[in-house]
Amino acid sequence: MTPRYLLPFDSRRSLHRFADVLIIGGGLAGLRAANAVSPNQSVVVVTKDLLRESNSNYAQGGIAGVLDPEDCFDSHVQDTLIAGANLCDSEVVEMVVREGPQRIEELIRWGTKFDETDGEIALGREGGHSFERIAHAHGDATGREIMRAVIERTRRAPNIEIFEDTFTVDLLTYEGRCRGAIIIEDESRNPSGRPLMVWAKETILCTGGAGQIFRESTNPAVATGDGTSLAYRAGVELRDMEFVQFHPTVLYIAGSSRSLITEAVRGDGAHLVDVTGHRFMPDYDPRAELAPRDIVSQSIVRQMAATQHSNVYLDLSHLDAERIKKRFPGIFDVCARFGLDMTADRIPVRPGAHYMIGGVTVDRQGRTSLPGLWAAGEVTSSGLHGANRLASNSLLEGLVYGAHAGEAASRSAAEGPHTLVAQRIQSAENRSTSEFDIADVRVSLKSVMGRLVGVQRDAEGLREAANSIHSFATYVMAHQFDSVEGWELQNLITTAQCMVAAAMARPESRGVHFRTDHATPDDENWRRHLTIQVDINGGHPQKGPLKEPVGVFVEAVKP
Ligand SMILES: Cc1cc2nc3c(=O)[nH]c(=O)nc-3n(C[C@H](O)[C@H](O)[C@H](O)COP(=O)(O)OP(=O)(O)OC[C@H]3O[C@@H](n4cnc5c(N)ncnc54)[C@H](O)[C@@H]3O)c2cc1C
């Protein structure tokens, strides 16, 4: 049912572009990768919106790293492994944690200004960390400050060309290798609307997350799971798609955007209380509000059920008001817009989809299962997060893996025998093109996913979700769209199908994957990864649809 390519095209009649390295995505991972490519090689970076629209830009709490002489690598490694619930790759965790300080120092050299106390980086603490090791900027605007510096640096690089407002529809594959991607440029750049085939020696996928699949999410509009879906269509292996991290505290006010209230607020002493004013976290975990995210999210869901109320509240009224205003100016402003004084009023919150833990399988260099394709950042499953991501480890992952993938792709482009020629590829055009209410299906999908594939799952709910999404897929995937909204809907569906199938296939609870019908971890049988991959005929031109989505499951060896 899923087509190999969402667009009909014929390479003989398409526009063409050539680059040594193509990078899809301009968040932290993508731009770090771009800066790792040799200045002698041409780089094209493609982003579907403006450069500043990425999950990276919205990161609030900070970036984790062992920066205090009293802290140590072993402690950061241990905290990451514990959060990951026995599914992390411990060698990857060691590598990322040990490389962290030098990557953060590099950001400072590139112009990032982290908050300081007495001339030293001011380090905060977040849930699951046993030491103060979170560097932050402008209080709660860490991502914006990091991205400001990295974007400025990238724009100055003469070998890097940035295509903003440019949507990547699919990866180009030919004879078992990724050859670049098919993109639709912004109208001002290409008024014809004809697809552009970007042929690259090496391609790096850095498309970020998929939070928009769920009704409640902290993610910006760009996070529609495009990367996992286009990788899936290109036959690339995906891993651990059942693991979606829900942020416990997303602002829940009718009419407001679903703003994240960073856990640094809890790190600074905020309490979670229910509708009766009871501080409930100590009832669930001795670490109370500083327990890892999965535990806090599940506790909130249980407390909402126990009190039959749609949300719980963050209470900061016992903390120093001036310090709170200074430390969290962004959240203070958002609350004020809805008539709430966060230093005195209780803030209504509930969990929302926040971070995609599963994704494209990569090795330590960022190499995927498809030759010529690398990946970095939230779109990947690198082994760092296991079954649950430790707070503030993802910006770090984007930096470390962005650098590795960029360097490795650059090396391969220089050494490899690849020639940059336009191959003859064609995709089919025989699908329905009738009128379609894209927004309606999108809302229905988000609500199914939020209701049945959220913080708590069970076999019956997952079956219902699979059936509903299958019925959407029967007509959405057969449709020929010619707009970003349409392709995004197809991507949302493909990634949602992978998530649901993986969640059904894992009959245990581990990390962020909580099954009420199998409430405990089963290390004996399930300390394993789940992978999903379809056969695309070795990347040879293919006209027919792919096998039924989520066709192949392989259980990889124990981590
Ligand atoms: C509100 C919020 C707060 C967060 N706070 C923190 C924090 O404090 N600390 C922390 O470590 N992490 C935090 N995270 C998570 C972290 O920000 C992300 O995991 C990380 O920044 C992802 O970086 P990335 O480069 O992989 O993806 P992104 O930064 O999301 O970049 C993805 C890029 O891909 C592009 N793209 C996507 N699809 C396409 C397509 N089809 N065609 C072309 N381009 C495409 C987008 O335009 C964008 O440029 C937070 C996330 C959110 C949403």
Q: Are 205 and 25 in contact (CB under 8 A)?
A: yes
Q: Is 368 in the pocket of ligand 1 (CB under 6 A)?
A: no
Q: Which of 35, 56, 491 to mutate to test the pocket of ligand 1 (most atoms within 8 A of CB)?
A: 56
Percent composition of the chain: helix, strand, coil (DSSP 3-state, to 5): 35, 20, 45
Which residue's alpha carbon is nearest to atom 2 within ligand 1? 59
Distance between Cα 46 and ligand 1 center (Å): 14
pLDDT band at 537 (very low <50, low <70, confident <90, very high): low
Closest C-alpha to ligand 1, atom 31: 27
* Tokens read off for 81: 């492994």
Give the residue whose CA is nearest to atom 49 of ligand 1: 26
List all residues 6 or more positions away from 457 whose beta carbon is below 8 Å from its beta carbon.
Answer: 503, 513, 514, 515, 516
312-369 per-position pLDDT tens digit: 999 999 999 999 999 888 889 989 999 999 999 999 999 999 999 999 999 999 999 9
* Residue with CA nearest ligand 1 atom 41: 168
| Tokens representing residue 164 in the block | 């903003």
Is 359 touching ligand 1 by the criterion CB < 6 Å? no
For 4-23, what is each residue's pLDDT tens digit? 899 988 888 889 999 999 99
303 lines ligand 1 (CB under 6 A): no
Q: Which comes out higher in pLDDT, residue 263 or 362?
A: 362
Comparing 238 with 190, the larger pLDDT belongs to 238
Q: 250 CB less than 6 Å from ligand 1?
A: no
- With a 6 A CB cut-off, is 267 part of the ligand 1 pocket? no
Q: Is 219 in the pocket of ligand 1 (CB under 6 A)?
A: yes
Pocket of ligand 1 contains residue 60 by CB under 6 Å = yes
Per-residue confidence (pLDDT) for residue 116, from 0 to 100: 95
Could you tell me where the beta strands, DSSP code E, fall in 357-489?
359-361, 373-375, 380-381, 456-457
Residues 483-511: what's their mean pLDDT? 95
Ligand 1 pocket check for 65: Cβ under 6 Å: no
Task: Report the first-to-last Cα separation within the chain, whole angstroms.
Answer: 33
Is the confidence at residue 419, as pLDDT, over 80?
A: no
| Distance in Å, CA 52 to ligand 1 centroid | 10
d(CA 57, CA 295): 26
CB atoms within 10 A of CB 14: 17
pLDDT given for residue 430 in this prediction = 61
C-alpha closest to that of 313 among 350, 365, 353, 355: 350
Find out whether the beta carbon of 61 lies less than 6 Å from any atom of ligand 1: yes
Amino acid (1-letter code) at residue 443: V
Measured in residues, the chain has a length of 559
CA 54 to centroid of ligand 1, rounded, Å: 5
Q: For residue 1, report the distance from its CA to the centre of ligand 1, in Å.
A: 29
Residue 291: which of 248, 230, 324 has the closest Cα?
A: 248
Q: What is the pLDDT of residue 433?
A: 64
Digit-coded pLDDT (tens) for 160-199: 999 999 999 999 999 889 999 999 998 888 888 889 999 9
pLDDT digits (tens, 9 = 90+) for 41-86: 999 999 999 999 999 999 988 999 999 999 999 999 999 999 999 9
Q: Report how far ligand 1's centroid is from the alpha carbon of 223 (Å).
A: 7
**What pLDDT is stored for residue 194 in this prediction?**
87
- Flag whether pLDDT at 253 surpasses 50: yes
8 A C-beta contact, residue 371 and residue 42: no
For ligand 1, atom 16: residue with the closest CA: 56
Nearest C-alpha to atom 13 of ligand 1 is from which residue? 59
Give residue 416's pLDDT band: very low, low, confident or very high (50, 70, 90). confident
127 CB near ligand 1 (under 6 Å) = no
Beta-bridge partner residues of 372: none
User: What is d(CA 406, CA 241) in angstroms, rounded to the nearest whole number?
Assistant: 25
**Dihedral of the CA atoms 280, 286, 289, 293 (nearest 10)?**
-110
Q: What spacing in Å lies between the alpha carbon of 56 and ligand 1's midpoint?
A: 4
Q: Which atom of ligand 1 is nearest to the CA of 208?
A: 27
Q: What percentage of the chain reaches a pLDDT higher than 70? A: 94
Nearest to 303 by CA among 245, 350, 252, 265: 350
More confident residue, 527 or 203: 203
Q: Is 24 in the pocket of ligand 1 (CB under 6 A)?
A: yes
Residues 6+ apart with CB under 8 A from 32: 150, 376, 398, 399, 402, 403, 406
Q: Which atom of ligand 1 is nearest to 259's Cα? A: 1
Integer Cα distance of 527 and 559 in angstroms = 7
Closest to 210 measured CA to CA, from 185, 182, 187, 229: 229
Q: Residue 56 CA: which ligand 1 atom is closest?
A: 21
Q: Map residue 156 onto helix, strand or coil.
A: helix
Q: What is the dihedral of CA 162, 168, 170, 176, to 10 degrees?
A: 10
* Pocket lining: 154 vs ligand 1, CB cutoff 6 Å: no
The CA 55 to ligand 1 mean position distance, Å, reads: 3
Q: Residues 14, 196: contact at Cβ < 8 Å?
A: yes
The pLDDT of residue 305: 94
Tens of pLDDT, residues 295-305: 899 999 999 99
Distance CA 492, CA 212 (A): 8
Q: Tell me, what DSSP letter sits at residue 558?
A: P
pLDDT at 518: 97
> Average pLDDT, whole number, for the chain?
91
Residue 12's pLDDT is what?
85
* Closest among 194, 190, 199, 176 to 9, alpha carbons compared: 194
Reported in sequence order, the residue ranges of 55-149 that DSSP labels E, i.e. its strands, are 63-64, 116-117, 120-121, 123-124, 134-135
For residue 553, the model assigns a pLDDT of: 53
Query: Would you say the C-alpha torsion 25, 188, 202, 11 has a positive or negative sign?
Result: positive
Q: Which residues are registered as beta bridge partners of 113?
A: none
Q: Which atom of ligand 1 is nearest to the CA of 28?
A: 25
To the query of whether residue 52 is one of the catalytic residues in this protein, the response is no
Q: Is 26 in the pocket of ligand 1 (CB under 6 A)?
A: yes
Distance from residue 307's CA to the centre of ligand 1 (Å): 34
Selecting among 177, 258, 293, 389, the annotated active-site residue is 293
For 504-532, how does the pLDDT look when each residue is reduced to its tens digit (9 = 90+)? 999 999 999 999 999 999 998 889 899 99
- The residue whose CB lies within 8 Å of the most ligand 1 atoms, and thus the one to mutate among 35, 185, 395, 483, is 395
